[in-house]
Amino acid sequence: MLNSRHLIDLDHYTLEQIDDILTLAKMIMNKPQYYTDSCHGKVMATLFYEPSTRTQMSFQTAMLRLGGSVIGFDNPVNSSVSKGETLKDTVRVVSNYADIITIRNPYEGAAKAASMYSRVPVINAGDGGHLHPTQTLTDIFTLKETKGTLEHLTVGLCGDLKYGRTVHSLIKTLCRYPGNRFVLISTKELALPQYLKDIIVETGHQFQEIDHLTDAMPLLDVLYMTRIQQERFTSKAAYEQQKGIYVLDAPKLARAKYGLKILHPLPRVDEISQEIDDDPRAEYFNQTEYGMYARMALILHMLDGSTKQLDTIPEGDDKHYCCNPKCITQTEKYLPPAFYCHKDILVCEYCEHAVDRE
């Protein structure tokens, strides 16, 4: 269902809506002085249950540059979450204080859950290893500005494709544009989840899986590097086995096309050697600025709507919970179960975990 009141998954926006946001982002980038009062009197709440530099600060500066104000927390320990307040109660209260809420939470499906209890639009700023739609807006705005198109690109994605929410969101969105091909560069342990491979195939796109970054380099129009995310592993030993396997350095870059664009959602640890930073193909620091304009455009787009009365949400049922230990329904037990059927497989609507695949 298309629903542009909240931004939980970019799939909920039509391509026309996405295009409108990118067009507005470009207009803001070219003439920021025209927009300095656009959100005068409006308040954004940033509720960050997980660390962030770019997403949180780019949303904050976006709102401030539009003339609005910002409230919120960047560590739930400093809020009443530490006293045991549920996500539902926190969001209900904050939606009385703010006109728009941006939320990051380590549990998959948390932003969707928050949107069910909010009177004002909710933006998913990252829900565990699931999705990160505003990073995708950032990424596609960067691609549009630097490659000039979102179509017929060979896109390499390297590193943590299993838990990488930025990778998941980006693939889903690029599958809505014709002719894109995906080169998936990861170890078997960090391979892309099957449901995303299914989306690539079902939307008529192609992918190949490659173990070594060196082999992939000559093929690519875009290289999307990612960090191996220590915080997503269940043990330090499992992380130690994966870290440092993929490093983009000058010898590998020498094998790439001149027109390659290198993106990274950041933060970087060691997966891009610093000698690459001044290469004209490196776009990852410019990408952070494109992200600010994309978020300014998104805020304007979303504040066009109004607050609404909350629907009555049915209470949860202990018998029907998602089996994904990282799903928000594992901790917020009042959430109503929500599943849909895809090819006879039951899928949780919060985290998109296929229940029958456990």
Taking the complex as a whole, the smallest distance from the CB of residue 54 to ligand CP amounts, in Å, to 4
Of the ranges 48-56, 78-86, 113-121, 251-259, which one interacts with ligand CP (CB under 6 A)?
Answer: 48-56
Nearer to ligand CP, 53 or 194 (CB): 53
- Alpha-carbon span 297 to 56, nearest angstrom: 16
- Alpha-carbon span 163 to 352, nearest angstrom: 13
- Convert 106-147 into a string of H (helix), E (strand) and C (coil): CCECHHHHHHCCCCCCEEEEEECCCCCHHHHHHHHHHHHHHH
Residues touching ligand CP, count (CB under 6 A): 9
Of the ranges 53-61, 185-193, 224-232, 320-328, which one interacts with ligand CP (CB under 6 A)?
Answer: 53-61
Residue 131 touches ligand CP, criterion: CB under 6 A = no
Residues between 8 and 37 with contacts to ligand CP, criterion CB under 6 A: none
Nearer to ligand CP, 23 or 53 (CB): 53
Among 54, 92, 255, 281, binds ligand CP (CB under 6 A): 54
Task: With beta carbons less than 8 A apart as the criterion, state whether 275 and 250 touch.
Answer: yes
Residue 226 touches ligand CP, criterion: CB under 6 A = no
Among 167, 265, 351, 352, binds ligand CP (CB under 6 A): 265
Sign of CA dihedral 196, 198, 202, 204: positive
- Alpha-carbon span 329 to 23, nearest angstrom: 37
Of the ranges 169-177, 180-188, 191-199, 261-269, which one interacts with ligand CP (CB under 6 A)?
Answer: 261-269
Residue 55 touches ligand CP, criterion: CB under 6 A = yes
Three-state DSSP class for residue 262: strand
User: Residue 290 CB: number of other CB atoms within 10 A?
Assistant: 26
H or E stretch at 288: helix 284-303
Nearer to ligand CP, 163 or 207 (CB): 163
Residue 135 touches ligand CP, criterion: CB under 6 A = yes
- Separation of CA 63 from chain center: 19
Residue 267 touches ligand CP, criterion: CB under 6 A = yes
Residue 53 touches ligand CP, criterion: CB under 6 A = yes
126: alpha, beta or left? (left if phi > 0; alpha if psi -120 to 50): left
Residue 325 touches ligand CP, criterion: CB under 6 A = no
Nearer to ligand CP, 52 or 242 (CB): 52
| Binding footprint of ligand CP on the chain (CB under 6 A) | 52-55, 126, 135, 265-267
